[in-house]
Structure 1
Amino acid sequence: MATRARPAQRRRQVLSREQIIDTAIGLLDAGGENGLTVRALTDRLATGSGAVYYHVGSRDELLDTATETVIAAALATAPDHAPATPEDEIRDVALALFDAITEHPWLATRLALQITRNPWGPVTVGIFERIGRQVGALGVPRPSWFVAASTLVHYILGAVSQNARIGGETPAIETDAEREEFLGATSKAWQALDPGDYPFMHAISGQMREHDDREQYLAGIALVLDGITGLR
């Protein structure tokens, strides 16, 4: 009996919090939130549920920690240096979040929950701090800081969420071919609308088919920044 206990004991000793979080992120990337179960996690790590609870707490706590880990890594990749303009810094942060949610589709829902339910947590505070510093550097008056930063953050999160599978309910567009097929079908449906009843939708149908998500996202950032700089 003693010889059987030693290997299990060694596994518990070498298991780290970081290993659990990294494995959880992998399960989330592969199967969304439904793919992250304690059983799947313990099977992947060859450990017991007690070790998971000891290191990271409940499943909800693990989801929050996974979100914090991915967002912290994304913000760390966005340059934070003095020579760049405030507009450049905001675009860097926005693109880092865009890329993070594109890579981790489950993140969109968790990020929205963090912003609304835990505004004092590290995710919300980290994003607002990075964006807010640049809002101040743009010369926006202090009484308008909250409105300006909130507008930017809400646009960023709303736009990136459109490019992700939210809550596992909306099928993701996985490949360029699937995206082209989807946009083509949408454009065709809009073109078929009566131009007398829907002149705007009819006019933009071709733009819908040809647009690039990343370029559209950056164009939206530029529009919001134009409005914010007008506050000066």
Structure 2
Amino acid sequence: MAIKKQRAARRTDALSKERIVEAAIEILDAGGEGALTFRALAAHLATGSGAIYWHVADKDDLLAAATDGVVARVVTDMTDGARPREAIRALALGLFDAIDAHPWVGTQLSRAPWLAALPQIFEGFGSRLEELGVPGSAQFDATSTLVIHVLGVAGQNAANARLHAHRTDRTAFLGSIADQWAQLDPAQYPFVRRVAAQLPVHDDREQFLAGIDLILDGIAALRQKPTPRP
């Protein structure tokens, strides 16, 4: 009797770009950029690589789509009707949390500034700054400052989390660094020695928002500055 070879189960439902992107995000979250290959994606979706290439050109295209998708969720979830300052803080915190949950997003945003995600972020911050009454001549610089702070701090926080993922006790790890700071030359590092004790107990999220508030306070001062007469 002939033995029939078992075939791997294949999807019979339609494959869309949205499904491909969602699967890519799952792989990226689990294993990082190195884990995302078209072979792994095809296995994850129980389909052939050709079906995936019909929707995305290559890995760079796939990474861009995944990054855009994560950022789009944050921008879409913003509460309508919120006051401009609260909306800016909510968007900043939403991006911080998204990059913390998907560390590869921060890498992609810094590596490929032409991604559609960045115009979404600029629009989200810029439109609220305009509502705050920031002068048109200062809007680009003010928006850029917010974006740089968000992507820089959130990206570094996510990178640190990945680098020290094997360390289960964050406080103990930062405490060891604080001990090293406390032993520095007091004549050369007086400030570092004074703040060393704060390092193990600080909250990254709260510190991030404190930076946002400092920027917004500076922007508020800019709005109140009288316009020089010609």
1:193 has 2:191 as partner? no
Deviations 1:62-120 (A, max 9, x none): 000000111101222221x22x22110100000110110111111110122232xx1xx
CA distance in 2, matches of 1:96, 1:174: 26
Aligned AA for 1:91? R
**Unaligned 5+ runs, structure 1:** none
Aligned-partner residue type, residue 137 of structure 1: E
CA shift for structure 1 position 12: 5.9
* SS of 2:55 mapped into structure 1: helix
| CA distance, structure 2, for counterparts of residue 57 and residue 13 of structure 1 | 21
Give the structure with higher Rg (CA): 2
Q: Equivalent residues in 2 for 1:70-109 (5 A)?
A: 70-79=70-79, 81-82=80-81, 84-109=82-107
Contact 1:86/1:137 (CA < 8 Å) preserved in 2?
A: yes
Report the 3-state secondary structure (helix = DSSP H, G, I; strand = E; otherwise coil) of the residue aligned with 1:165.
helix
User: 3-state SS of the aligned residue for 1:196?
Assistant: coil
Q: Name 1:205's counterpart in structure 2.
A: 196
Partner of 1:26: 26
- Partner amino acid for 1:40? A
Q: Secondary structure at the match of 2:163?
A: coil
Contact 1:114 1:123 in 2 (8 A): no
- Deviation >4 Å, runs of 4+: none
Counterpart AA for 1:89: A
Q: Tell me the residue number matched to 1:40.
A: 40
- Residue in structure 1 matched with residue 163 of structure 2 by the alignment: 171
Q: Deviations over 1:124-152 (max 9, x none)?
A: 11101110011111111111110011011
Q: Secondary structure at the match of 2:222?
A: coil
Native 8 Å contact 2:172 2:200 kept in 1: no
The code of the aligned residue for 2:143 comes to A
What's 2:227 paired with?
none
Structure 2 counterpart of 1:29, one-letter code: D
- Structure richer in helix, relative to its length: 1
Q: Tell me how far apart the structure 1 counterparts of residues 74 and 139 of structure 2 sit (CA, whole Å).
A: 23
**Alpha carbons 1:164, 1:172 under 8 Å: kept:** no
> For the residues of structure 1 that align with 2:23 and 2:169, how far apart are their CA atoms?
29
Which amino acid in 1 is paired with 2:100? T
State the TM-score, normalized to the length of structure 1.
Answer: 0.87
The aligned amino acid for 2:69 is T
Count the aligned residue pairs: 219
Identity of aligned residues (%): 47
Using the TM superposition, give the Cα deviation of residue 11 of structure 1 relative to its aligned residue in structure 2, in angstroms: 2.6
